[in-house]
């Protein structure tokens, strides 16, 4: 049974800080002692302003750092962004400003160590800081995610896979979202963040987790000593069947999550939260998966009027499926593995997902028959 504390708040700093401290006390924060080396891991996906609801709010990062300092700990704020320089993210995300005056180290995660996360992946490279810190405070943002439905506590730790390794993993797990979810769960189990506090004050709905999503006021902080518990509480709040969040499903199969939740505080029911379109199923013999992927699964499309031809999507694309010249951008759908990294990183919200005609027809048919 995992206790998840929920508190209503805004980003008015005194109120937010009080809520944050209260949740930390409720979930065992006093464990942080003098000299504890504490990694604070926010979601610092890419350069974005706080009102875009893409990054963990800067004042939440400040509250976490203040909490650690008050307990005598040594806070380090770090992440490995998917795109853009860490410095620029700190500046644009107002994190640099928010941490002013605090004795906190702020740095990108750029040194990896090999760790064995278990079958089928074995040794993978994970940020050293995430493995060697005494305590990890995980600070995810409530956002939708084109590939994984939602990005919450467990998914936030994928940021501990250092920059250039991320697309490599997307490539290796391809469109097999269950395999990707297994990777996320095993990374989470290896890092074992001691505390997870979710920024669900200004959340992101629609085509998240990047600039294609829309900010949505929820007004909550949610915290627990187990990220699966926090993720399950979000599912309960949004009316999402827990198994639909593949990380929860896989965690259940691996016996690292038993589904038991004890709520501390009022969890509202939000039933109109805009979730991204579900993937079509890839089924049958593996030899046909490439064909089905091309024909059935929603494809990334570029909205030419918004595209600035900046090349960020081309850089992140693990399948090298994107090319562009001075005038237009091209996606090779035979190469594309439908990982949607391009949607995630596009700084102009120009990438979207679009259903294929075959996928649309089959989905309609399936919905009539089932």
Binding residues for ligand SF4, per CB under 6 A? 300, 302, 307-313, 317, 319, 321-322, 329, 331, 336-342, 346, 348, 350-351
Cβ nearer to ligand SF4, comparing 188 with 338: 338
CB of 310 to ligand SF4, least distance (A): 4
Q: State the Cα–Cα distance between residues 295 and 246, nearest whole angstrom.
A: 23
CB of 236 to ligand SF4, least distance (A): 30
Cβ nearer to ligand SF4, comparing 24 with 313: 313
Q: State the Cα–Cα distance between residues 20 and 11, nearest whole angstrom.
A: 11
Cβ nearer to ligand SF4, comparing 19 with 339: 339
CB of 308 to ligand SF4, least distance (A): 4
Cβ nearer to ligand SF4, comparing 65 with 321: 321
CB of 290 to ligand SF4, least distance (A): 13
- Enumerate residues 6+ apart whose C-beta is below 8 A from 121: 182, 183, 186
Cβ nearer to ligand SF4, comparing 222 with 319: 319
Cβ nearer to ligand SF4, comparing 158 with 257: 158
Counted residue by residue, the chain has a size of: 370
CB of 339 to ligand SF4, least distance (A): 4
Nearest to 120 by CA among 192, 161, 167, 179: 179
Tracing tokens 């919905």 back to the chain, one arrives at 367
Contact assessment for residue 161 and residue 80, using Cβ atoms and an 8 Å cutoff: yes
Q: What share of the chain is helix, strand, coil (3-state, %, to 5)?
A: 35, 25, 40
CB of 35 to ligand SF4, least distance (A): 43
Q: State the Cα–Cα distance between residues 66 and 111, nearest whole angstrom.
A: 26
Identify the DSSP state of 279.
P
CB of 332 to ligand SF4, least distance (A): 8
Contact assessment for residue 206 and residue 143, using Cβ atoms and an 8 Å cutoff: no
Cβ nearer to ligand SF4, comparing 196 with 298: 298
Token pair recorded at residue 343: 């949607």
Contact assessment for residue 7 and residue 229, using Cβ atoms and an 8 Å cutoff: no
Q: State the Cα–Cα distance between residues 90 and 85, nearest whole angstrom.
A: 9
């Amino acid at each position: 049974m995992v206790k998840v504390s929920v508190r209503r708040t805004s980003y008015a700093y005194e109120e937010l800080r009080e809520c944050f401290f209260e949740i930390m006390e409720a979930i065992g924060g006093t464990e942080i002692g003098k000299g504890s080396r504490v990694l604070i891991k926010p979601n610092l996906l890419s350069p974005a302003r706080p009102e875009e609801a893409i990054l963990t709010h800067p004042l939440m990062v400040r509250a976490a750092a203040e909490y650690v300092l008050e307990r005598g700990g040594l806070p380090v704020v770090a992440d490995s962004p998917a795109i853009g320089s860490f410095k620029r993210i700190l500046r644009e995300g107002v994190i640099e400003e928010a941490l002013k005056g605090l004795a906190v180290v702020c740095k990108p995660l750029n040194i990896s160590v090999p760790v064995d996360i278990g079958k089928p992946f074995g040794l993978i490279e994970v940020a050293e800081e995430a493995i060697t810190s005494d305590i990890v405070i995980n600070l995810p943002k409530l956002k939708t995610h084109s590939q994984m439905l939602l990005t919450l506590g467990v998914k936030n730790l994928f940021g501990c896979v250092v920059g250039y390794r991320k697309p490599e993993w997307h490539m290796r797990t391809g469109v097999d979202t269950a395999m990707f979810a297994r990777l996320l769960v095993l990374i989470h189990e290896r890092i074992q963040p001691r505390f997870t506090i979710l920024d669900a004050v200004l959340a992101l709905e629609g085509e998240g987790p990047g600039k294609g999503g829309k900010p949505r006021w929820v007004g909550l902080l949610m915290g627990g000593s187990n990220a699966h518990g926090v993720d399950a509480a979000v599912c309960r709040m949004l009316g999402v069947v827990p198994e639909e969040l593949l990380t929860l499903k896989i965690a259940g199969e691996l016996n690292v999550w038993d589904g038991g939740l004890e709520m501390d505080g009022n969890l509202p029911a939000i039933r109109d939260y805009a979730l991204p379109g579900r993937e079509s199923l890839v089924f049958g013999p593996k030899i046909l998966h490439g064909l089905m992927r091309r024909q059935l699964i929603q494809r990334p499309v570029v909205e030419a009027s918004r595209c600035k031809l900046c090349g960020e999507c081309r850089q992140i694309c693990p399948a090298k499926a994107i090319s562009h010249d001075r005038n237009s951008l091209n996606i090779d759908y035979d190469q594309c593995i439908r990982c949607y990294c391009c949607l995630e990183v596009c700084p102009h919200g120009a990438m979207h997902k679009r259903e294929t005609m075959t996928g649309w027809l089959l989905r309609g048919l399936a919905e009539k028959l089932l």
